[in-house]
């Protein structure tokens, strides 16, 4: 069975990781907070909810009002850099 990957729009094409966190303390990143337009504010939030090292949920706050407009399963077309 193949997975359909939904791509989400962000404010820009950059990927400036403002924060990486290891929430469950297993030595791997679980949370990525990203600025996609270079303004210093986060607009892309990604979470590894099952500890496999891959993004399970992506949220985009396109207008940066602290309320995400888009929430999708998977990396939303924006996988973290290795």
What's the rounded Cα separation, in Å, for the pair 73 and 24?
A: 20
Please state whether the predicted TM-score (pTM) of the whole model is above 0.85: yes
Q: Write the CB contacts of 67 (distance below 8 Å, at least 6 apart in sequence).
A: 61
Length of the chain: 82
What's the rounded Cα separation, in Å, for the pair 64 and 79?
A: 20
- Give residue 6's pLDDT band: very low, low, confident or very high (50, 70, 90): confident
Which of 10, 32, 12 minimizes the C-alpha distance to 21? 32
Query: SS3 for 66?
Result: coil
pLDDT in tens, 8-50: 999 999 999 999 999 999 999 999 999 999 999 999 999 999 9
Higher pLDDT, 47 or 3: 47
Return the domain boundaries, the chain.
16-73
């Amino acid at each position: 069975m193949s997975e359909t990957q939904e791509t989400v729009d962000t404010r820009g094409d950059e990927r400036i990781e403002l924060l990486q966190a290891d929430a469950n303390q297993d030595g791997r990143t679980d949370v990525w907070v990203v600025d996609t337009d270079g303004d210093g504010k986060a607009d892309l939030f990604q979470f590894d909810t099952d500890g496999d090292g891959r993004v399970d949920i992506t949220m985009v706050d396109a207008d940066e009002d602290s309320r995400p407009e888009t929430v999708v399963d998977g990396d939303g077309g924006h996988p973290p850099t290795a």
